[in-house]
Chain A
Amino acid sequence: MFEARMAQAALLKKVLEAVKDLVTDANWDCTSAGISLQAMDSSHVSLVSLLMRKDGFDMYRCDRPISLGINIASMTKIMKCANNNDAVTLRAEDEGDTVVFTFESADQEKVSEFEMKLMDIDSEHLGIPEREHTATVKMPASEFHGICRDLSTIGETVQVSVTKEGVQFTASGDTGKGTITLRNNSSVDEESQQVVITMQEELSLSFALRYLNFFTKATALADSVTLSMTADLPLVVEYRIEDTGYIRYFLAPKIDD
């Protein structure tokens, strides 16, 4: 038996918003530690890795590991039936082929139940090592969102350069070129407004803005986002989900042909 209850449906809605444009179907892997999901986009250019630890739930029970194969669009439709303040419970039998969503209104006067058929999803699991990166940039999530959106109007690719001066985002296209520079401002009082750059050496990498714009759908999940970069390795874009998990996106850099 798997059963997990979260106090606010809003959180699960935000998680779905953060994956639904990138992933069609995915296995939600549930264990006694929590729920995780790993999936590539259909072009296999990027990867999303979600973790929601059990301590982020009001109630959590998972007797044995279970993979819930879910069509993300169907789940999104069901979750739209929940109010943001509803409590939501997910429930699945060990050998079952459905997952049940229960929404309870804050005043407990309304209870809705939706049953969704599970799918058999054959997905390869990739081992993602935790590694030190050459440079990291922590910045307000809304700032990163704005930069990706603005530079998309100029070109398809952004060059991210980290130097002692700060981090520079540059896009160029037929109509011209745009450059946005952020300087380290770790002295700002409000932590969520800080731009914090760590760097072992200067680097410059290029990424497809199309995918970065998909990643910024997670903006509502966190105040800050962290970009981690190492030459010739995938960029990691991480949004922390409170203190109980994260959504991480990995994007292979564009390399000179």
Chain B
Amino acid sequence: KQKQSSISRFFARK
């Protein structure tokens, strides 16, 4: 089973 993670987890907020 694979999980889809959110893209915002990978980039810092500006």
Interface residues of chain A, those whose CB is within 8 Å of chain B, are 40, 44-47, 124-128, 157, 206, 208, 233-234, 250-257
Closest chain-B Cβ to A210's Cβ sits at a distance in Å of 10
A47, A157, A206: which has the most chain B beta carbons within 10 Å? A47
Closest 6 CB pairs between A and B?
A126-B11, A254-B2, A125-B14, A257-B3, A257-B1, A44-B6
Closest chain-B Cβ to A40's Cβ sits at a distance in Å of 6
For A44, what are the chain B residues with a Cβ–Cβ distance below 8 Å?
Answer: 6-8
Q: Within the assembled complex, what's the spacing in Å between the Cα atoms of A252 and B9?
A: 9
Could you write out 29 A-B pairs with CB less than 8 Å apart? Answer: A40-B7, A40-B8, A46-B7, A47-B8, A47-B11, A124-B8, A124-B13, A124-B14, A125-B14, A126-B8, A126-B12, A126-B13, A127-B12, A127-B14, A157-B2, A206-B2, A208-B4, A234-B10, A250-B7, A250-B10, A252-B10, A253-B5, A254-B4, A255-B2, A255-B3, A255-B5, A256-B2, A257-B2, A257-B3
For B8, what are the chain A residues with a Cβ–Cβ distance below 8 Å?
Answer: 40, 44, 47, 124, 126
Q: Which residue of B lies closest to A208 (CB)?
A: B4
